Amino acid sequence: MGERLALDAIWLFAAFLLLVVLAAAALAARRYLLERRGGTVECGLRSPARRGTWRLGVASYQGDDLCWYGALDVRFRPEQVFHRRSLTVLSRRPSLPSEASVLGAERIVVELDRADTGGGHVELAMTDEALTGFLSWLESSPPGSHLKDIALFDSERTRVFASRCHDSAGCGAWGLWCFGAFSRALRTAPNNAP
């Protein structure tokens, strides 16, 4: 009876060990697939700022969005999505010694205001190099990338704009150039007007 109980315990331990190895392999494969897309950095997240607990994860730049994936999450959907145009940097500081045990050494903590959530503050922790890339991404955006957020006018409204511009005093060449740029933007951008 004792031998059988010991053998059962060994099999249970082996099954548990196999599950742990499979879970670790799944997390490693997920991380590899996320990083394979490019534009990813290790990034800690604390929400709400100064009160929440730090969670480790990976941030991925995807166009005008910064997608944050938790390190121990198994889903391929981001837990948090930060829109570039809604973020404002409030402050930055080096990580505290008490935070270094969770975040790692030499992390910079950035406090952000999120306009899309009604002013909620979050903190991101990343290396100095990753912070430089984040700030560059935050300050830059491709020309015209915000046009999808603006309802464009139809051609009838464009004609009204053109006649007002042409008839107004002092419009001259500048107004005609503006109208030309406006018309080109209308032709190249999708029509989002109702």
Q: Which residue type does 81 have? A: V
What letter would DSSP give residue 154? -
Which parts of 37-58 fold into alpha helices (H)? Answer: none
| Tens-digit pLDDT profile for residues 52-83 | 889 988 998 988 889 898 887 777 788 889 99
- Confidence (pLDDT) at 140: 84
Q: Which residue has the higher pLDDT, 79 or 175?
A: 79
Q: In the predicted model, what is the mean pLDDT of residues 96-109?
A: 88
Question: Torsion-angle region of residue 6: left (phi > 0), alpha (psi -120 to 50) or beta?
Answer: alpha
User: Per-residue b/e over 137-152, b at no fewer than 16 CB within 10 Å?
Assistant: ebeeeeeeeeeeeeeb
Highest average pLDDT, of 101-105, 140-144, 151-155, comes from 101-105
Position 175 confidence tier, pLDDT thresholds 50, 70, 90: very low
